[in-house]
Amino acid sequence: MESAVFPTVLPTYNRADVAFVRGEGPYVFAEDGSRYLDFGAGIAVNAFGHANPRLVAALTAQANKLWHTSNLYRVPGQEALSKKLVENTFADTVFFTNSGAEACECAFKMARRYHFVSGHPEKFRIITFTGAFHGRTLAGIAAGGQEKYLEGFGPKVEGFDQVPPNDIKALEAAIGPATAALMIEPIQGEGGLHPMTPEFLRALRKLCDEHGLLLIFDEIQCGVGRTGTFFAYEQLGVTPDIMCVAKGIGGGFPLGACLATAEAAKGMTAGTHGSTYGGNPLGMAVGLEAITMVLEPGFLEHVRTVGSYMRQQLAGLIAEHPAVFEELRGQGLMLGLKLHVPNTDFVAAARKHGLLIVGAGENVVRLLPPLILTEDQVREGVKLLSDTAADFDANRKTAAA
Ligand SMILES: *Cc1c(COP(=O)(O)O)cnc(C)c1O
């Protein structure tokens, strides 16, 4: 052959050379039949594990009736799911999307539009925080502010200012006459499970109230039960005006949502925003069943119990392998291990042991197992992490010898 063939799948990912063909609960099975314990859950998506019978039933029942009609007509599933979300959160209203990035876009547009209809079109800037991740659209990468995602995609979308998290002075200095909103992940996911202090998040609310700004929480990764409450903000004593949701809400079906108070949403009148697929009957059927499961008695309690058990087990693991692990971060079943060894190497080594985990910023590996995980499965995962760490301990000994 004369020249290399360009990959038919656009090569924007450094993919591991493994393909999964089926899943069951927290396990996935590769083409060769080998079994993996999935502590990545498709990046915090498969909150109920793989092939959850209730989600399969909800999806297939809807698939046999109607797939898509568009938003030119009423969609009963949207009415039911929005009602359930509104009843169980701060929000009054919901816009449905197919992804997290679109939920963020809706939030950006809503914040600008709010000030526009309030007679302040000059207020359009949104302050975000170093290490943030708000999706891969042009506005999303401007909001996230990460050079590695912005490079070559300029000019950067105007209107995003970034300050370090947990630094009130820097934030106060950044607020100006053009500021419209503050946007933050209560627990940064991609950025390395970098914890925001509750005091800082409460201070954000106070600053927003004082300056007439909207507070936007991006709970795409930390929401829908992952931290042990329906949404992470419930543990902070702070409510946002707008909240982005995705990942876990579809349990694996592409689904996102932008939740808001009636006040924050007051500019989003007919014709201002839309989506062909957003809120389609399939997504609504799955989302409704997913939310129903999360809110059933005992589910969130299970996340908290298994989360704290896992935390204990991981503390023991860190103590056993101090040359590999630096610290434990996170909450509920959104946990991270900051490493002394390169996280990409560790993720690959864990996969060889049959454990799937996900890298993040600040040399962290994320443990984002399905929320249905049992204590036995926690022990199984921690054993695999220990076996993986032992490889690195052994390598160090060989290198030192
Ligand atoms: C994953 C994620 C997004 C983007 O969601 P997509 O579905 O990939 O578009 C945005 N914000 C946060 C916090 C996320 O974790």
Whether residue 247 lies in the annotated active site = yes
Is pLDDT above 60 for 2? Answer: no
- Residue in 217, 247, 334 to alter for ligand 1 test, most ligand atoms within 8 A of Cβ: 247
What was the pLDDT predicted at 156?
Answer: 98
Q: Which domains does the chain have, with CATH numbers?
A: 53-295 (3.40.640.10), 298-351+359-400 (3.90.1150.10)
Asked whether 143 and 108 are in contact (CB, 8 A), the reply is: yes
How many residues are there in the chain?
Answer: 401
What was the pLDDT predicted at 401?
Answer: 65
Tell me, what DSSP letter sits at residue 145? -
Q: How confident is the model at residue 395 (pLDDT cuts 50, 70, 90)?
A: confident
Distance of CA 252 from the midpoint of ligand 1 (Å): 13
Which phi and psi angles does 23 have, rounded to 5°?
Answer: -145, 160
Q: Which residues contact 37 (CB under 8 A, 6 or more apart)?
A: 26, 27, 354, 355, 356, 377, 380, 381, 384
Distance of CA 246 from the midpoint of ligand 1 (Å): 7
Distance of CA 343 from the midpoint of ligand 1 (Å): 21
| Mean of pLDDT values over 46-73 | 98
Which phi and psi angles does 38 have, rounded to 5°?
Answer: -100, 95
- Residue in 138, 221, 243, 368 to alter for ligand 1 test, most ligand atoms within 8 A of Cβ: 221
The SS3 call for residue 38 is: strand
298-340 pLDDT, tens digit each? 999 999 999 999 999 999 999 999 999 999 999 999 999 999 9
Asked whether 103 and 256 are in contact (CB, 8 A), the reply is: yes
Q: How confident is the model at residue 397 (pLDDT cuts 50, 70, 90)?
A: confident
Q: How many of the other CB atoms lie within 10 Å of CB of 140?
A: 22
Q: Which residues contact 32 (CB under 8 A, 6 or more apart)?
A: none
Distance, in Å, from the CA atom of 249 to the CA atom of 258, rounded to the nearest integer, reads 12
| Mean of pLDDT values over 171-178 | 98
The residue behind tokens 């939310």 is 291
What was the pLDDT predicted at 80?
Answer: 98
140-150 pLDDT, tens digit each? 999 999 999 99
Is pLDDT above 80 for 400? Answer: no
Look at strands 179-184 and 125-129 and give their pairing.
parallel
